[in-house]
Every structure is written in structure tokens, then in C-alpha cells.
């Protein structure tokens, strides 16, 4: 009796072709599973709830063995869980403004450099360095900066030089307020960058011991002085890359990424690659990659030295093509373009009265980025504040994956050069993914004030079963147009799953009743399958909270003749 075994799932999710023309290793659905280096399909790990954070903070940045959050205005926030470290980042001129989102963060010389956005859309950069503690009976000159002996989240700048008193003053906590201390006058300041040449923009990156940031208005990429992220003005050290002069299309930069050790400057319709160095004299333009760029700076990620990002077509990568050493865009995301575009082209929001509104993405022409806050009023008069789509990308290096998060959905790119794996799958969650970050090889997700950790030994999300589903294309057993009598199957499986079959390509609702299988069935009797069709499409679904790792499936059949 003829039999064919399908044991390679290395292509992952691929919806470029129809269900009757896709290859056997190209999956039509792959929800809550990933492709392993053994080219099997494994149910994703679940989420363990580890904390409900005290209200008032945003963001989740991993650095120095801690997960860092941020707040502004009002009272200090203290986290009971010592894994989390809160930081005050009051607006530099108005301490009442509430920080709404962390757009980027870098660990620079042991301290965090943060690009933040406030509720009114204003962006500011902050460097959370330690200027040193106040000392009694000490002379200070104009411009000196110190902090209280017990840190309170503010910096204090000398506006009148002199000598401090014998005892510490009662430090003000209102931005711009002053206090006289002996003959010294101190001004209360935030940790924001005061240098007027700092662009205070959305996209930042650390390279060559400098901070680089886009300047959409000036159509340049300014950079700080070497090892001095507060200094954006020193001659022959700080400066800018004249990226706009190299552009034939859109001149405003939209984001920054990394290709190997080089800097990638993204525009809406193209990208530039630059060599960067601590000495500006050694910085040099390399080339333009035409026709591919991004309007989504938070989507920019890095896998194995390649810069991966979302452009107007889907997920793309800038890499070096083999044999030519020419930089070009590679459409690594083409297998899931249709799914990505369905999310980006429109999305829904839920009003407080329960009404669902479908909204197209918002493009902010003036700044070249998405993410501007706005108010939507529905027909019932409910006001909704929302942010335009800006997917967030994180490199989950411990698992060899790139995760691109859209609200409650994530597309996962599993990559291994040694195993020759390059495959997408989709993760679905029951909560929005506000922030995804990696710390010490563990993946953490923030949703509202709740924080979850991916737990490799559970297949539940905080007590709720992870529902995995795999749909293969229609398999014609290498005999298209030939009617077949399918009589049996075997499956090599770790854990359990439900198996059913679609058997009519013209009516995908025609599905057999599922059967529950466990373990490797090849050691026992063949599992009966009673179907007549030219092709069938297997469906695998998880059983409750049990694990599921599909290694192979074998189908037994008889050819009955040409239809």
C-alpha cells in the first residue's frame, strides 16, 4: 500500500499560494507553535504571571539584571518586587506632563539613555546618570550638577556659584524651582538632555560609543560626543550625518538600525548604510538601498547581524547577498505578507460603551513616524484615545527567534543557519502585548500593569490553556487529479493532539470529526482514516494544557484512478 511521510516543517507559515498549490512543508495556519531546530512543530511555552506593578509607570527595559519602568509627575513609585526598578523621568520644563510610552532605551556606560513620549505627544531624551552627591561646605561653580545624598529622581544645577552650607537643604521637587544653600543657588532639573542640538526624537541607537538619533525636521542623524551622551555640540566630536543629501525620495529619516557594525538609517521609501566611528572624521556613507524603508521605528530588530523591519509591503531585511557582497533588501517576510498587511491596513478599537470601530493606520507626515495620539469620537459620543500601529520587535536570542508584536498577536521568526531554519509562525494571546523584552535569557511581557514571564515548562498562560492549531495544505500525495482512498495514518508525536482533515478544497468547512492521539502511533496499529478525495489537508489542534510536538505524519492510501 502506498504511503508518504511528511516530516519537514521547516518552511513554517506561508500563505503566498492557495491551499491546493502550497508545498507540503508550507503551513496554512500555525498558531501558538514554532519550528524547532529539528524541524518539528512544537506548542509554544506558556506565560507565568510574576507581578502586578504598582500603578503609574510605563515601559519595561531590561538592563543590569533588572527590569526598569518609568514614571513622571506626582508621587514617587516604589515596586514591591525587587526585580523591577522604577525611574522618574519628569518632563524638562513641565513636571506635570505624564509619560505615556518609552520609544527607545540604551544602556550607556552603566546608565540608561531613554527616549520617552508624553501624553501630549512631546518627546524627550533622558540620561539617568549619577552626577554625584551633594557635599557640605564645598565650593561649586556655575553649571555644576549634583543630587541629594538620598536620591529623589531629580538633578540640581548651580545657577549662582558659591559654597554650600553645613547641612543639606530641603530640596525642591518642582522643575525649575530654586533653593539657596549657603551662598549657592540650586535649580531643580529633570534628567532630560539640555543640549539644544539633541533632536529629542523617537528612534535612538548606541554605536561607536555615541548615541545616534534621527532628526526628521532637519533631515539629518545627529550624534553625541564620544562617551558623553549629554553633549551634542562639541566640535570635532559631536555632529550629524547629512542623510538628507543622499536621498532622491523622502528625505526625513524615520528610524535607526544596525547591520553588522554599521548604522542603517531608514527613510519611508529607502535606507542608507553608514560606517560610524568614535572619530567623526572616519564616518563614511556606504550606499543607499532603494525601494525599501520603514515608517515604523519600533519594528526595527536585529537577527544574526541583519536588520529586520516592517516596511509598507511587510517584514523585510537588509543583508549581504551571497556571492555578490552587495547590500539589498531581502523579503524574508513575504510568506506572511498577507497576514501582516491585514493587521497594518486596518485595526479595531473598543469604545467604553462596547462599540467596535475599525480604524486605518495613521501616518504623521510632519515627523515621518507613526505613534501620534489622537481622540476618536464614535456615534454614541464615546471618546477613545489611541495610538497608531507601531509594531514592537524584540530579539529572543535564547530561543533563536525574532518576535514582532501587534497588540495581542505576535509573529515569530525562528532562525538557525546551522539547522537551515527560516520560518514564521503566529502567537495569539488573551491580552495586549504592551512591551516585550528579554532579560538573562528569559522573555518578559508587560500588559497594562501585569508582567508575565515565558515559562518553558508550562503550556498555560496564567492558568489558561494555550490553544495551538496547525493546518497543512491539501496534500495530493504527488498524484494531482487522481482520486484516492485514504485508509490510515500514523503520527510521531510528543504529548497529545486532535487530528482532523479537510477533504474538499472548494468547501473548507467540510472537516472530519477530530480524533485524539498521544505519543508515537507507529508502534501500534495504524490509525484508521476513511476518506475519498484527490487531496486532504490535515489539521492538528492541542488538547487542553498538554504539550504538543509533531515530528511527522504518515498517510496510507490507494490510488483509484484519474478523476
- Domain ranges for the chain: 3-43+469-562, 139-189, 346-387
Give the pLDDT of residue 380.
46
* Residue 311 · residue 294 · CB < 8 Å: yes
- Predicted pLDDT of residue 318: 83
Distances (CA, A) of 490 to 314, 440, 519, 550: 37, 40, 10, 11
How many helices (H) does the chain have, and how many strands (E)? 1, 50
Query: What number does CATH give the domain 3-43+469-562?
Result: 2.60.120
Cα–Cα distance between 136 and 371 in angstroms, integer? Answer: 46
Distance CA 261, CA 128 (A): 26
Going residue by residue through the chain (563 aa), what tens digit of pLDDT does each one get? Answer: 899 999 999 999 999 999 999 899 999 999 999 999 999 999 999 999 999 999 999 999 999 999 999 999 888 999 999 999 999 999 998 888 999 999 999 999 999 999 999 988 899 999 999 999 999 999 999 999 999 999 999 999 999 999 999 999 999 999 999 999 999 999 999 999 999 999 999 999 999 999 999 999 999 999 999 999 999 999 999 999 999 999 888 899 999 999 888 999 999 999 999 999 999 999 999 999 888 899 889 999 887 778 889 988 889 888 754 334 455 445 788 999 999 888 876 555 554 445 444 454 433 323 333 333 344 444 444 444 344 457 899 999 888 899 999 888 999 999 888 888 889 999 999 999 999 999 999 999 999 999 999 998 888 999 999 999 999 999 999 999 999 999 999 999 999 999 999 999 999 999 999 999 999 998 888 999 999 999 999 999 999 999 999 999 999 999 999 98
Q: What is the pLDDT of residue 261?
A: 87
Main-chain dihedrals φ then ψ at residue 345, nearest 5 degrees: -70, -25
CB contact at 8 A, 382 and 352: yes
Strands (E), 14-89: 26-27, 29-31, 33-35, 41-43, 46-52, 58-63, 66-71, 84-88
Which pLDDT score, from 0 to 100, does residue 420 have? 85
468, 405, 313, 303: CA torsion to nearest 10: -100
Taking CA 257 as the corner, what is the angle to CA 411 and CA 255, rounded to the nearest 5 degrees? 90
Residue 294 is placed in which grid cell? 520603514
How many other C-beta atoms lie within 10 A of the C-beta of residue 441?
9
User: Count of CB atoms within 10 A of residue 98's CB?
Assistant: 15
Distance in angstroms (rounded) separating the CA atoms of residues 403 and 178: 47
Q: Which three cell numbers stand for residue 412?
A: 515569530
The C-alpha cell of 309 is what? 523591519
Local structure of 227: helix, strand or coil: coil
pLDDT at 370 (0 to 100): 38
Q: What are phi and psi of 531, to 5 degrees?
A: -140, 145
Amino acid at each position: 500500500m502506498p504511503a508518504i511521510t511528511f516530516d519537514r516543517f521547516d518552511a513554517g507559515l506561508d500563505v503566498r499560494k492557495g491551499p491546493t498549490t502550497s508545498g507540503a512543508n508550507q503551513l496554512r495556519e500555525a498558531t501558538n507553535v514554532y519550528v524547532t531546530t529539528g524541524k518539528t512543530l512544537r506548542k509554544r511555552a506558556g506565560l507565568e504571571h510574576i507581578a502586578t506593578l504598582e500603578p503609574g509607570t510605563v515601559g519595561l527595559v531590561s538592563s543590569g539584571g533588572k527590569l526598569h519602568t518609568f514614571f513622571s509627575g506626582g508621587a514617587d513609585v516604589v515596586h514591591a518586587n525587587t526585580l523591577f526598578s522604577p525611574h522618574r523621568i519628569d518632563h524638562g520644563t513641565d513636571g506635570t506632563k505624564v509619560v505615556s510610552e518609552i520609544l527607545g532605551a540604551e544602556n550607556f556606560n552603566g546608565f540608561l539613555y531613554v527616549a520617552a513620549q508624553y501624553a501630549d505627544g512631546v518627546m524627550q531624551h533622558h540620561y539617568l546618570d549619577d552626577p554625584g552627591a551633594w557635599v557640605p561646605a564645598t565650593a561649586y561653580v556655575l553649571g555644576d550638577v549634583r543630587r541629594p545624598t538620598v536620591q529623589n529622581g531629580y538633578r540640581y544645577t548651580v545657577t549662582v556659584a558659591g559654597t554650600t552650607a553645613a547641612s543639606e537643604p530641603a530640596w525642591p521637587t518642582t522643575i525649575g524651582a530654586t533653593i539657596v544653600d549657603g551662598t549657592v543657588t540650586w535649580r531643580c532639573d529633570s534628567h532630560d538632555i539640555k543640549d539644544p542640538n539633541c533632536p529629542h526624537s523617537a528612534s535612538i541607537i548606541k554605536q561607536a560609543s555615541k548615541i545616534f538619533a534621527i532628526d526628521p525636521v532637519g533631515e539629518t542623524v545627529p550624534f553625541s560626543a564620544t562617551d558623553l551622551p549629554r553633549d551634542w555640540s562639541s566640535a570635532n566630536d559631536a555632529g550629524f550625518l547629512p542623510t538628507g543629501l543622499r536621498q532622491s525620495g523622502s528625505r526625513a529619516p524615520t528610524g535607526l538600525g544596525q547591520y553588522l557594525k554599521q548604522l542603517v538609517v531608514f527613510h519611508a521609501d529607502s535606507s542608507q548604510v553608514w560606517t560610524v566611528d568614535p572619530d567623526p572624521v572616519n564616518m563614511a556613507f556606504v550606499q543607499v538601498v532603494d525601494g525599501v524603508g520603514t515608517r515604523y521605528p519600533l519594528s526595527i530588530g536585529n537577527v544574526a547581524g541583519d536588520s529586520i523591519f516592517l516596511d509598507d509591503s511587510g517584514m523585510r531585511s537588509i543583508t549581504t547577498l551571497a556571492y555578490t557582497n552587495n547590500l539589498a533588501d531581502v523579503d524574508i517576510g513575504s510568506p506572511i505578507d498577507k497576514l501582516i498587511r491585514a493587521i497594518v491596513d486596518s485595526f479595531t478599537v473598543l469604545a467604553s460603551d462596547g462599540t467596535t470601530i475599525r480604524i486605518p493606520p495613521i501616518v504623521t507626515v510632519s515627523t515621518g513616524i507613526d505613534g501620534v495620539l489622537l481622540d476618536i469620537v464614535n456615534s454614541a459620543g464615546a471618546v477613545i484615545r489611541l495610538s497608531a500601529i507601531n509594531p514592537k520587535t524584540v530579539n529572543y536570542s535564547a530561543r533563536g527567534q525574532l518576535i514582532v508584536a501587534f497588540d495581542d498577536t505576535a509573529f515569530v521568526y525562528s532562525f538557525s543557519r546551522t539547522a537551515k531554519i527560516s520560518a514564521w509562525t503566529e502567537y495569539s494571546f488573551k491580552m495586549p502585548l504592551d512591551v516585550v523584552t528579554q532579560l538573562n535569557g528569559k522573555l518578559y511581557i508587560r500588559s497594562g500593569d501585569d508582567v508575565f514571564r515565558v515559562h518553558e515548562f508550562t503550556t498555560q498562560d496564567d492558568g489558561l490553556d494555550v490553544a495551538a492549531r496547525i493546518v497543512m495544505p491539501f496534500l495530493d500525495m504527488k498524484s494531482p487529479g487522481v482520486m484516492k482512498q485514504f485508509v490510515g495514518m500514523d503520527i510521531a508525536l510528543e504529548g497529545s493532539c486532535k487530528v482532523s482533515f479537510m477533504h474538499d478544497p472548494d468547501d473548507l468547512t467540510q472537516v472530519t470529526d477530530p480524533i485524539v492521539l498521544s505519543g508515537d502511533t507507529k508502534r501500534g496499529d495504524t490509525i484508521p482514516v476513511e476518506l475519498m478525495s484527490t487531496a486532504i489537508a490535515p489539521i492538528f489542534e492541542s488538547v487542553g494544557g498538554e504539550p504538543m510536538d509533531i515530528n511527522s505524519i504518515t498517510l496510507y492510501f490507494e490510488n483509484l484512478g484519474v478523476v
